[in-house]
Amino acid sequence: MLLRDLWHQRGQLLAAALVVACGIASFVSMRLTYESLLAARDSYYRVHRFADVFVHLKRAPDVMAQRLREIPGVAEVHTRVVMGVTLDVPGLAEPATGRLVSVPDRRQAMLNDLFLRRGRYIEPGSTEEVIASEAFAAANRLDVGDRVGAVINGRWKSLRIVGIALSPEFIFEVGPGALFPDNRRFGVLWMGHQALASAFDMDGAFNDAVFGLAAGAVVPDVLSRIDLVLERYGGLAAYGRDDHVSHRFITDEIAQNRISSTWIPGIFLGVAMFLLHLVLSRLVSLQRTQIGLLKAFGYGRGPVSLHYLQLAGATVSLGVVLGTGAGLYLGEGLTALYLDYYRFPALPLVFSPEVVGAGVGLSLVAAGLGAAGAVARAFELPPAEAMRPERPSSFHPGVLERTRLRRLLPPAGRMILRSIARRGWKSVLSALGIACAVGLLVLGGFFMDTLDYMLRVQFQDVQRDNVTVYFNQPGSAAVQHDVRHLPGVLHAEPFRTVPARLRFEHRSRRTEVTGLDAGGDLYQLLDRRLRRVGLPADGLLLSRKLADVLQVGAGDRVTVEVLEGERLVRSLEVAGVVDDLVGIFAYMDRAALNRLLREDSVASGARLRIDVRQSAQLYDTLKHMPAVAGSIFQEAALDSFEQILDRSLRVSTLINVVFACVIAFGVVYNGARVALSERGNELASLRVLGFTRREVAAMLLGEQVVLMLLAIPCGFTLGTWVSWFLSIQLDTEMYRVPLVLTPASFAFSALVVIAAALVSGIIVASRINRLDLIAVLKTRE
């Protein structure tokens, strides 16, 4: 009997099973990805000893390392030389930016230890051997034995790659000043300490240190003590893991995974619960007589109820099996996608029986709750009552009768509306299910639209240059002049950036003060409506986020502690805020900044607009220009980012569409099938009375159409709310994520769901052809 019922209800139960499968698949894949990322990160950090605190400085003698070691809470200090250089990579037109990081000449355990993927460690004393980061090597198809050119302290040098490695410090490898990874044009190269120090005249000195902390160390205390020790050596503020770019990205990603692995499966299981309830309630109604008969024959309430529980259980089991399989497959795919962005020695999908167990448990709970109503009815139905046919559905004058709407509607329209009203909360839940499907798609659209918007604003409206060059040292007027006259440069705008801590009352933030030329065009400060904000002659413009964090507004005076050179401390007025999308910055007029720093008209770099026809010559010159520490090529960087992005967006869109279709299909299919079953007699009567199949199908599916029409705007609203909520969640000091949704995204969401509903509608409508017109003349509902 169980098998027979399963077979008879196969379409509807399968639809419910598929929804369960999607729930489990999303739960298992996201949760396993979450656990895998977490496990991979933690074991990587542990085995390769990721540092707790980081600091960069101008130059300190090696003896200062001992002073740092003595700071309470510090367990270990590793000092090193870190330098930015311009690289000439074979096969790459533009110069790349390299970060040279010194490593001990003989391999020894250290903080941020390398994971050597291929090749070997450097030979002690070698001046040309380097170990390249895997992401950079892979993007440029470099391998052990290949060479890259570098401008090291003004001298051209050929470096030989002897090994390919990864470091826990660079899981997310993003260059200075860049907004996202561009592994072709930015890479880390590890070089022997002796060789690197000599090349940059840093013998007996260091300009970077990383720290391991003892258990129980209080990070802010340690940071301020480090700053105190290094102040006279040009120390930039020390920071903990929380401000470490790579760590921050990977940790945010993991946190997001955890959140989405909770609510997305929740939607599916909720919908599955509702579908099971629909199918089983209808089944109990149809099988009243059978139930009565069984009870009359002496079967207890238990076995009868158990039957329906088993139906739900069987459905969910199928969903669990399909979903777990799909979840593992998707999990593999997701972790593989993560390797595009994050570099781990390995990111195996951790198979956690607990996660699968939890998925199964949750589904069974959903099945139980979904079946509960139907089971309770079967349980309570007295045998005599059960053997009488169910009372015909009764209708009473309702809202429709009290409104003018009634007169406007033809009888068929009234049938549809009354039927929806009579089904009450079931109609609401159906609409809600469809709305969830729409909302899911809207949410997918939000990610794409917002990303599009952010990239467009950042790279068309804000950064309007083709190339940004960074100087090794603040460049004098002469250097600026040289840059202006590089081949192909149409227009150059120097800028000055200086690390600084901004303080207001007890609140402070470490940031950069950027000096821009008034009237410049290549970097625009914009307000929320993308209108240009002019630089004040004096005073600061702050990122809105920075102003929020410091709780300052126009007219307030903030203390600016410059973290470079003479470490001047000045009080400046906040002239206004700007709505930038990335980072937290303070902007001012470059001349004013130069005056503040008591320096001539120097610049930290320049933004260039170039004649692309002459780019090859420009690139060649930049590759060998000693004053330039690095360059960013906006278009190339954007292209490579979009390539990576494209892959993950395509995958996530596909998954989203499949999930939404399964929900929409499941809800509409089950709704229509139940309606067909409940109203089969009525519809067959209409066929006898001369209504065509098409007309009858319209009456059957009209209910679903109306629910859909109600659900779509609800889905739009729901999707917009969740998008809005996420845009607030994602609004950090690193990024601001504005809520952007294009009409195309709404249209796409609606169309996908309508298409899925249409398919299920057509399948159900085909059953109208099978209505038995003769039986209806003789049977009583």
Q: Summarize the chain as % helix, strand, coil (round to 5).
A: 55, 20, 25
Could you tell me if 384 and 292 are in contact, meaning their C-beta atoms sit under 8 angstroms apart? yes
CB under 8 A: which stretch of 105-113, 357-365, 389-397, 732-740 binds other proteins?
A: 389-397
- If the CB atoms of residues 126 and 681 are measured against other proteins, the closer one turns out to be 681
- Min dist. Cβ of residue 287 to other proteins (A): 21
The contact mask relative to other proteins for 659-698 (x = CB under 8 A, - = no) is ----------------------xx--xxxxxxxxx-x---
- If the CB atoms of residues 554 and 706 are measured against other proteins, the closer one turns out to be 706
> How far is 597 from 498, CA to CA, in rounded Å?
9
Q: Please list, in sequence order, all residues whose beta carbon lies within 8 angstroms of the beta carbon of residue 730, skipping any fewer than 6 positions away.
A: 737
Reduce the DSSP state of residue 389 to 3 states and report it: coil
Judged by CB under 8 A, the chain residues 739 through 778 that form the site for other proteins are 773-774, 776-778
Q: What torsion do the CA atoms of 539, 544, 546, 547 make, to the nearest 10 degrees?
A: 60
Among 396, 404, 529, 613, binds other proteins (CB under 8 A): 396
- If the CB atoms of residues 419 and 497 are measured against other proteins, the closer one turns out to be 419
- Min dist. Cβ of residue 671 to other proteins (A): 16
**Apex 378 CA angle, 685 and 273, nearest 5:** 85
For tokens 């099971």, the residue is 276
* Residue 153 is a binding residue for other proteins (CB under 8 A): no
- Min dist. Cβ of residue 408 to other proteins (A): 14
* Residue 351 is a binding residue for other proteins (CB under 8 A): no
- Min dist. Cβ of residue 304 to other proteins (A): 29
- Min dist. Cβ of residue 394 to other proteins (A): 4
- Min dist. Cβ of residue 767 to other proteins (A): 16
* Residue 405 is a binding residue for other proteins (CB under 8 A): no
- If the CB atoms of residues 439 and 702 are measured against other proteins, the closer one turns out to be 702
* Residue 346 is a binding residue for other proteins (CB under 8 A): no
628-633 and 585-589 strand pairing? unpaired
Could you tell me if 689 and 298 are in contact, meaning their C-beta atoms sit under 8 angstroms apart? no
- Min dist. Cβ of residue 694 to other proteins (A): 10
* Residue 390 is a binding residue for other proteins (CB under 8 A): no
* Residue 779 is a binding residue for other proteins (CB under 8 A): yes
Could you tell me if 477 and 634 are in contact, meaning their C-beta atoms sit under 8 angstroms apart? no
- If the CB atoms of residues 551 and 692 are measured against other proteins, the closer one turns out to be 692
* Residue 399 is a binding residue for other proteins (CB under 8 A): no
* Residue 704 is a binding residue for other proteins (CB under 8 A): no
Both tokens assigned to 631: 């360059």
- If the CB atoms of residues 373 and 413 are measured against other proteins, the closer one turns out to be 413
The contact mask relative to other proteins for 318-337 (x = CB under 8 A, - = no) is --------------------
Both tokens assigned to 223: 């940071």
- Min dist. Cβ of residue 427 to other proteins (A): 13
CB under 8 A: which stretch of 204-212, 328-336, 406-414, 425-433 binds other proteins?
A: 406-414
- Min dist. Cβ of residue 391 to other proteins (A): 8
Among 32, 68, 159, 415, binds other proteins (CB under 8 A): 415
Reduce the DSSP state of residue 525 to 3 states and report it: coil
- If the CB atoms of residues 157 and 414 are measured against other proteins, the closer one turns out to be 414
- Min dist. Cβ of residue 288 to other proteins (A): 18
Among 395, 721, 724, 725, binds other proteins (CB under 8 A): 395
CA atoms within 13 A on the CB side of 4: 2
Eight-state DSSP code of residue 563 = -
> How far is 363 from 368, CA to CA, in rounded Å?
8
* Residue 353 is a binding residue for other proteins (CB under 8 A): no
The amino acid at residue 272 is A
The amino acid at residue 107 is R
Q: What is the DSSP string of 62-118?
A: TTHHHHHHTSTTEEEEEEE-EEEEEEE-TT-SSPEEEEEEEE-SS----TT--EEEE
- Min dist. Cβ of residue 274 to other proteins (A): 23
Q: Which helix (H) or strand (E) holds 129?
A: strand 129-133
> How far is 119 from 132, CA to CA, in rounded Å?
10
Reduce the DSSP state of residue 17 to 3 states and report it: helix
**Apex 409 CA angle, 407 and 410, nearest 5:** 110
- If the CB atoms of residues 257 and 419 are measured against other proteins, the closer one turns out to be 419
- If the CB atoms of residues 353 and 392 are measured against other proteins, the closer one turns out to be 392
Rg (CA), the chain: 33
* Residue 548 is a binding residue for other proteins (CB under 8 A): no
Q: Please list, in sequence order, all residues whose beta carbon lies within 8 angstroms of the beta carbon of residue 250, skipping any fewer than 6 positions away.
A: 37, 41, 171, 172, 342
Q: How many CB atoms lie within 10 A of CB 216?
A: 6
Among 144, 412, 755, 763, binds other proteins (CB under 8 A): 412
- Min dist. Cβ of residue 772 to other proteins (A): 10
> How far is 589 from 575, CA to CA, in rounded Å?
12
- If the CB atoms of residues 205 and 415 are measured against other proteins, the closer one turns out to be 415
The amino acid at residue 220 is P
- Min dist. Cβ of residue 393 to other proteins (A): 5
CB under 8 A: which stretch of 325-333, 377-385, 392-400, 726-734 binds other proteins?
A: 392-400
Among 66, 108, 394, 571, binds other proteins (CB under 8 A): 394
Q: How many CB atoms lie within 10 A of CB 291?
A: 26
- Min dist. Cβ of residue 416 to other proteins (A): 8
Judged by CB under 8 A, the chain residues 422 through 481 that form the site for other proteins are 422
Report H helices in 381-459.
Answer: 383-387, 399-402, 405-408, 411-423, 425-456
- If the CB atoms of residues 657 and 676 are measured against other proteins, the closer one turns out to be 676
- If the CB atoms of residues 623 and 687 are measured against other proteins, the closer one turns out to be 687
- If the CB atoms of residues 641 and 691 are measured against other proteins, the closer one turns out to be 691
- If the CB atoms of residues 216 and 690 are measured against other proteins, the closer one turns out to be 690
* Residue 780 is a binding residue for other proteins (CB under 8 A): yes
Q: Please list, in sequence order, all residues whose beta carbon lies within 8 angstroms of the beta carbon of residue 354, skipping any fewer than 6 positions away.
A: none
Reduce the DSSP state of residue 159 to 3 states and report it: strand
- If the CB atoms of residues 116 and 697 are measured against other proteins, the closer one turns out to be 697
CB under 8 A: which stretch of 16-24, 91-99, 142-150, 418-426 binds other proteins?
A: 418-426
- Min dist. Cβ of residue 581 to other proteins (A): 54
> How far is 181 from 174, CA to CA, in rounded Å?
4
Both tokens assigned to 351: 């198979």
- If the CB atoms of residues 215 and 408 are measured against other proteins, the closer one turns out to be 408
- Min dist. Cβ of residue 699 to other proteins (A): 9
β-pair partners for 574: 540
- If the CB atoms of residues 598 and 694 are measured against other proteins, the closer one turns out to be 694
Could you tell me if 635 and 519 are in contact, meaning their C-beta atoms sit under 8 angstroms apart? no
- Min dist. Cβ of residue 732 to other proteins (A): 54
> How far is residue 770 from each of residues 150, 361, 672, 673, 684, measured CA to CA in Å?
78, 40, 15, 13, 10
Could you tell me if 397 and 368 are in contact, meaning their C-beta atoms sit under 8 angstroms apart? no
- Min dist. Cβ of residue 701 to other proteins (A): 15
The residue count for binding other proteins (CB under 8 A) is 34
Burial of 568 (0-12, 13-18, 19+ CB in 10 A): middle
Both tokens assigned to 763: 């399948």
User: In the complex, which residues of this chain contact other proteins (CB under 8 A)?
Assistant: 392-397, 410-412, 414-415, 418-419, 422, 681-682, 685-693, 695, 773-774, 776-781
